[in-house]
Amino acid sequence: MNEMITIPRATYDAMRERLEDLEDIVASRAAEHDERLPHDLVTLLLSGGESALRLWRRHRGLTQQALSEASGVGLSTITEMESSRKTGTVEAYRALAAALDVSVDELLPPAD
């Protein structure tokens, strides 16, 4: 079916404007579900001076023990990873990221 209609330019422009407004509303509602981070947390994460794992754990309000239970990663491993005495395995980072609801990249130490 290839029917065509003709409408006045003003009507077309008004329809386009409404469509753009609706697209903006949809984008705004989608953005409301994005997590907003406190400025202090972002500053600390960007500085690299403290373990990202520790910062995210504290931001989520978890103790090392609670994170261990939620992730299945041993308490001593978490302690050593947070203090940079031990580099975690890929599996450990995946489990911790899932428990903290962040991407693995958010937990990795800065590249030297």
For the chain, the structural domain boundaries read 39-107
Closest CA to 54 of 22, 1, 45: 45
- pLDDT tens, position by position, 1-17: 789 999 999 999 999 99
- pLDDT tens, position by position, 56-92: 999 999 999 999 999 999 999 999 999 988 888 999 9
Alpha-helix runs per DSSP H in the chain: 9-31, 39-47, 52-59, 64-71, 75-82, 90-100, 104-107
* pLDDT score recorded for residue 77: 95
Find the Cα–Cα–Cα–Cα dihedral 101, 24, 41, 79, rounded to 10°.
10
CATH architecture of 39-107: Orthogonal Bundle (1.10)
What is the pTM (predicted TM-score) of this model? Answer: 0.65
